[in-house]
């Protein structure tokens, strides 16, 4: 029987090791898996690379992980959100590494990792600083940059509903990076607001199919992200 439910947040994040790459769902404060991130803070893994669109705001969740000194490198498109005070301080002090990736390329690179694409050419970024050092190829009348898959050891995902196989739905624009990140990690860990009976989700409206999910925990009343 496939039943990927775990009984605690600690169990959900068990086995995350120093030096791993963690994909974290969310855009702004929507879709951030706050409780899972806090479980990682409690768990203690360090020297992490995190991939997320923003670099955390306020003092909790992503910013909390940064403030706890666990993150070596951030891969993101937009670290300078309002309230990204923790990242700003660490970056100014040279204590954190930043890989800046255009948002669509960030998403497409993770999709490539999830879909078995070994690399792809995109015109985004061609001729800019963000393509420096990358292979450029003229295709279909336009310069393209070769971009490589971006795979996570772990993905931390916030979902709305889930079943014991790991099928997921999301709430509105909190969906954002989650379905792509769920595909792109070796170990995909999900916190869902509600776990329902197997068969309760309409097969035609499941957004993330079970095959992309490895562990599941119910968090009925998740905290908002980015608290001061």
Partner 1 sequence: MTLTREQLAARVAADVPDGAFVNLGIGLPTLVANFVPADREVIYHSENGILGMGPAPKKGEENPDLINASKQYVTLMPGAAIVHHTDAFAMIRGGHIDLALLGALQVSATGDLANWTTSPNLLMPGVGGGMDLAVGAARVWALMEHNTRDGQPKILECCTLPLTAARVVDRIYTNLAVIDVTEDGLVVREMAPGLDFAELQRRTGATLTLANDWRAIGLSA
Residue list 194-213, contact with a copy of itself (CB under 8 A):
202-205, 207
- Please, are residues 155 and 189 in contact by the beta-carbon 8 Å criterion? yes
Q: Record the tokens describing residue 66, joined without a space.
A: 């940064």
Q: Which is nearer to partner 1, 56 or 179 (CB)?
A: 179
Rounded Cα distance, 182 and 104, in Å: 17
Binding segment for partner 1 (CB under 8 A), chosen from 9-17, 36-44, 62-70, 111-119, is 111-119
Rounded Cα distance, 85 and 207, in Å: 34
Listed residue (19, 84, 77) closest to 57, CA to CA: 84
- DSSP structural state of residue 87: H
Q: Is 52 in the site for a copy of itself (CB under 8 A)?
A: no
Rounded Cα distance, 24 and 22, in Å: 6
- Contact residues: a copy of itself, CB under 8 A: 108, 112, 115-124, 137, 139-140, 142, 144, 148-149, 169-170, 172, 175, 202-205, 207
- Contact residues: partner 1, CB under 8 A: 1-2, 27-31, 53, 77-82, 88, 91-92, 100-105, 107-108, 110-111, 113-117, 122-130, 163-165, 167, 171-180, 183, 197-199, 201, 203-204, 206-207, 209-212, 224
């Amino acid at each position: 029987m496939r039943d990927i439910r775990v009984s605690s947040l600690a169990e959900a994040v068990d086995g995350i090791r120093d030096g791993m790459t963690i994909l974290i769902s969310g855009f702004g404060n929507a879709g951030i898996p706050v409780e899972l991130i806090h479980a990682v803070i409690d768990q203690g893994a360090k020297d992490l690379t995190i991939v997320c669109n923003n670099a955390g705001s306020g003092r909790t969740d992503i910013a909390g992980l940064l403030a706890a000194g666990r993150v070596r490198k951030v891969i993101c498109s937009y670290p300078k959100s309002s309230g990204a005070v923790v990242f700003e301080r660490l970056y100014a002090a040279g204590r954190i590494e930043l890989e800046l990736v255009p948002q669509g390329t960030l998403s497409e690179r993770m999709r490539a990792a999830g879909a078995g694409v070994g690399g792809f050419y995109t015109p985004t970024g061609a001729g800019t600083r963000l393509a420096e050092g990358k292979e450029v190829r003229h295709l279909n009348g336009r310069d393209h940059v070769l971009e490589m898959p971006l795979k996570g050891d772990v993905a931390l995902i916030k979902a709305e509903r889930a079943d014991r196989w790991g099928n997921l739905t999301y709430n509105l624009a909190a969906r954002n990076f989650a379905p792509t990140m769920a595909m792109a990690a070796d170990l995909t860990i999900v916190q869902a607001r509600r776990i329902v009976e197997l068969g309760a989700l309409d097969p035609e409206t499941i957004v993330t199919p079970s095959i992309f999910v490895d562990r599941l925990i119910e968090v009925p009343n998740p905290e908002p992200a980015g608290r001061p």
